[in-house]
Structure 1
Amino acid sequence: MTVPAALLAALVDDAGLFPPTALPMDRALARHRADLAAAHPLHTHRFLVPASRLGELQARLEPGDSLALGLIADRGAEGLAADCAAVAADPRLRLALVEVPLAAFPGGVREALDALPGDVPVYAEPAGRAAYEPLLTELGALERPVGAKLRCGGVRAELFPTAPEVAAWIVACARAGVPFKATAGLHEAVRHTAPATGFRHHGYLNLLLATAAAAGGAT
């Protein structure tokens, strides 16, 4: 099967700072600059960085850099407002995306939105493996489009949701009309077992095709 290029366009953010590569900042930036020069259409060319490491990133930037930033808002609402101001004041950075881990926002997603510019795409990550249906209902009712974030793995086996759990998430997002992005563990196109760990990983192509099926009404 040949996968249409449009299906894969702008699919992958640059998560070089995060496991499994977990590169130091200077190496992650060097790789990102090389990816920008190559301009592969599979990449979004967004550089993901925790808000708590924003100062470290800025210290490593060069005068000619121009980065589309995916900010992980791990410092809560007060920190988020200050971080957005810092990005806006730096001509080398553009805020292209904000991911909101709701565990850091006791006031919920609306608390995060109050600290953000109105034109920045936002994805809210549920706290832990709690029931997510109320969150999707809330996101679907917001005047501003806000997506959800699905965590598909991590450094421990229990961080990997089962295939039925992922399927239920995809169907719920489709029914609520909420876009989602997925993170962690999606290192290959199809579902597989990693030889080094024995962890059963989901595949990003599996997610894409399941999402297409769910958008078409599949259960």
Structure 2
Amino acid sequence: MTHKTDLKTHSVEAFLNTLIDYAGLFPPAKLPLDQAIRNYASYVNGEDAWIVGPFVIPAASLDQLDEHISLFTEERPLLLSVLGRKGEDEATSVLYMEDDFQKVEELRERYGKVVQVDFFEVAMPSLNPGKPYLEKVQKMMAEHRLTCYAELPIQGNDPTWSDSLSDVLSKVSSINKGYSQPLGAKLRSGGITAELIPSIEIVASFIHGCKEHKVPCKFTAGLHHPIRMYREEVGTKMHGFVNVFAAGLLAYVHNLEKPRIMEILRDQAPSSFSFQPEKLVWNELEVSVHDMKELRERYLCSYGSCSFDEPRDELRALDIIERG
């Protein structure tokens, strides 16, 4: 995919490449499928297509895609990240996934290379899933050629949450050693009300835990804005996606501990984040374009957003990408 170039291209491209998974079907946008899929088709054919990742869709809605497939071609396929149903327990979760995978395979069979399903996202039944369950999930993912991101529930008022998080990430890391395509972790980073926005400490714990155990991660919800800021619509501060991914990148490169990661997440000054031709700099810490590309590909996947226009417009306003 081509895009405009300028002096910042190398570091900006490494940072933003396929960063935003388009989740227009979900709140607060909650668009009808017809509008959301047409939006996505316009984005992947536009000048900023390089920033766009897959279209996020519930498995239950896959059958509704048939009338929209003509918007895509083998050259510009419909890239999908399928959201599975959450099971109330591990046995139910497995049954739901088996049903969802059948829908994925039927879609692949119908449309071949015009539809590409590489990712599957599913909420874990608890923050303490058994290792046999996780092994079963990973085995099924490998059989269906999918990379899975398991959403871990947030228990912000539980003082043992960080320890439980570390335990499950340790299990995932152990299981991943037997597979070429690792199981990843997903964190819900916001929502439509203040209570749905996790604390800086929770986000830092997630980034630090994934870094320590070398578990790939992604985020969803609440990351409409590049830099952390107060937002009237939720009555509190929202996390910035530049903060979050810069924190992740720098945590890996400099082996940062949680307090330092929290500093990056807390920073509300756009000028603190400098996209230079061959590196990203935050205060005295920096990460090279080479390391950004490798870490984005292996460990820091993307984030789901119900809007593509809003984060793109704010990136333009900050002169991080060129104005259209």
TM-score by length of 1: 0.89
Aligned equivalent of 1:125: 151
Amino acid at match of 1:217: N
- Of all paired residues, the percent bearing the same amino acid is 27
**Conserved? CA contact 2:72–2:78, under 8 Å:** no
Instruction: Answer whether contact 1:102 1:109 (CA < 8 A) is retained.
Output: no
How far apart are residue 100 of structure 1 and its match?
2.0
Q: Which residue matches 2:83?
A: 72
- The 8 Å contact of residues 19 and 52 in structure 2, kept in 1 or not, is answered as yes
Q: Does 1:183 align with 2:205?
A: no
Of residues 26, 29, 45, the one that matches 1:21 is: 29
Deviation at 1:63, TM superposition (A): 7.1
**One-letter code of the match for 2:137?**
A
SS of the equivalent of 1:27 reads helix
Please point out which of 95, 99, 109 is paired with 2:121: 99
Instruction: Specify whether residues 39 and 121 from structure 1 end up closer, same or farther in structure 2 by C-alpha distance, changes over 3 A only.
Output: farther
Q: Is the contact made by 1:25 and 1:60 (CA closer than 8 Å) also made in structure 2?
A: no
Once the two structures are overlaid, the 10-residue window that deviates more, 205-214 or 176-185, is 205-214
Match of 1:81 among 90, 94, 101: 101
**1:217 equivalent in structure 2:** 255
Q: What is residue 165 of structure 1 aligned with on the other side? A: 202
2:141 is the alignment partner of 1:108 = no
Mapped contact 2:190–2:198 kept (Cα < 8 A): yes
Matched, 1:42 2:75: no
SS of structure 2 residue aligned to 1:124: strand
Superposed CA deviations along residues 54-96 of structure 1, whole A, max 9, x for unmatched, are 1223344337553111001116223223122222212142212
Larger Rg: 2
Report the CA distance between 1:196 and its aligned residue.
1.9
For residue 147 of structure 2, what is the amino acid of its counterpart?
P
2:210 partner SS: helix
CA contact (8 A) 1:88 1:95 kept: yes
2:174 paired with 1:136: no
For residues 71 and 198 of structure 2, what CA distance do their matches in structure 1 show? 42
Counterpart of 1:218, as a letter, is L
1:171 CA displacement: 0.8
Shift of 1:189: 0.4
Change (3 A) 1:127 1:163: closer
CA offsets 1:119-146 (integer angstroms, 9 cap, x no match): 3221111234353222211111122211
SS for the counterpart of 2:232 is coil
Q: Is 1:33 aligned to 2:41, yes or no?
A: yes
- Residue of structure 1 in register with 2:92 after alignment: none
Query: In the alignment, what sits opposite 1:200?
Result: 237
**Residues 157-166 or 58-67, more deviating:** 58-67
Q: Structure 1 residue runs of 4+, over 4 Å off?
A: 104-107
Paired AA for residue 30 in structure 2: A
**Counterparts of 2:71 and 2:244, CA distance in 1:** 39
CA distance in 2, matches of 1:81, 1:114: 12
Whole-Å separation in 2 of the counterparts to 1:169 and 1:63: 37
State the distance in 1 between where 2:100 and 2:138 align: 10
What is the identity, as a one-letter code, of the residue corresponding to 1:35?
Answer: Y
Q: Does the residue aligned with 1:4 lie in a helix, a strand or coil?
A: helix
Give the superposition deviation at 1:39. 5.1
1: CA distance between counterparts of 2:146 and 2:125? Answer: 21
CA distance 1:108–1:58, change in 2 (3 Å): farther
Q: Tell me if the contact between 2:193 and 2:234 (Cα under 8 Å) persists in the aligned partners.
A: no
What number of residue pairs does the alignment pair up? 217
Residue 11 (1) aligns with residue 24 (2): no
> What displacement does 1:112 show?
2.7
Counterpart Cα distance in 2 of 1:64 and 1:126: 33
Structure 1 pair 64–159 and aligned structure 2 pair: CA distance change class (3 A): closer
